[in-house]
Amino acid sequence: KTADVAKGKQIAEQVCAACHGADGNSVASANPTLAGQHPAYLYAQLQAFKAGVRKNPIMMGMAAPLSEDDMRNVAAYFGSQSVKPREASDKSQMDLGRQIYRSGNPLTRVPACMACHGPAGKGIPVQFPRLGSQHAAYVLKQLNDFKAGTERKNQTMAEIASRMSDAEMKAVAEYISGL
């Protein structure tokens, strides 16, 4: 069944725009940009919020009233919007950030992020989300959430985050925000 982008746009404008922007480019750094994200990934996250598997209190409330079709439609709408490219705000983090993103840290067995998220941060549909131009503060929170395993569980990302230092997470989050 194909998604109805026009119906998705309606939901986005009425419910999600306040935090994620009407076109999916959010302003506040705690709210992720959804524009250009793979629809299958957005849909899977909405299902996880609705099922209470990804335990973010705000988004659990937002996903609760959405039907399967609503989630598919709104995911298709945000995925079809284009990301506004941004620049990293803290340029001092670029060298370490780029190194982690492109090469990982062989000493602590942190893999290169680009292996799964792509050299330009576009991700690889269906499984691997796009990261490019995402807010650094949001990315950093996700890495800490994966490491802690309480709000958000994902085995691959939990193992990777648990091997990273705070400095590495901060630097790679800054680098990603400018990708």
Beta strands in 37-102 (DSSP E): none
5 binds ligand HEM (CB under 6 A): no
76 binds ligand HEM (CB under 6 A): no
111 binds ligand HEM (CB under 6 A): yes
What is the x/- site pattern for ligand HEM, positions 77-96, by CB under 6 A?
--------------------
133 binds ligand HEM (CB under 6 A): no
141 binds ligand HEM (CB under 6 A): yes
Q: How far, in Å, CA of 142 to CA of 62, rounded?
A: 19
Within 21-40, the residues that bind ligand HEM by CB under 6 A are 30-32, 34
Report the nearest approach of ligand HEM to the CB of residue 6 (Å): 15
Query: Does residue 52 sit in helix, strand or coil?
Result: coil
Q: ∠ at Cα 53 (118, 1), nearest 5°?
A: 70
Q: How far, in Å, CA of 19 to CA of 5, rounded?
A: 19
Q: By C-beta, is 6 or 18 nearer to ligand HEM?
A: 18
177 binds ligand HEM (CB under 6 A): no
16 binds ligand HEM (CB under 6 A): yes
Query: Does residue 92 sit in helix, strand or coil?
Result: helix
Query: In this structure, which amino acid lies at residue 124?
Result: I
158 binds ligand HEM (CB under 6 A): no
167 binds ligand HEM (CB under 6 A): no
Q: Three-state secondary structure along 94-162?
A: HHHHHHHHHHCEHHHCECCCHHHHCCCCCCECCCECCCCCCCHHHHHHHHHHHHHCCCCCCHHHHHHHH
Positions that interact with ligand HEM (CB under 6 A): 11, 15-16, 18-20, 30-32, 34, 42, 45-46, 56, 58-59, 62, 74, 100, 110-111, 113, 115-117, 127-129, 131, 139, 141-143, 154, 156-157, 160, 172
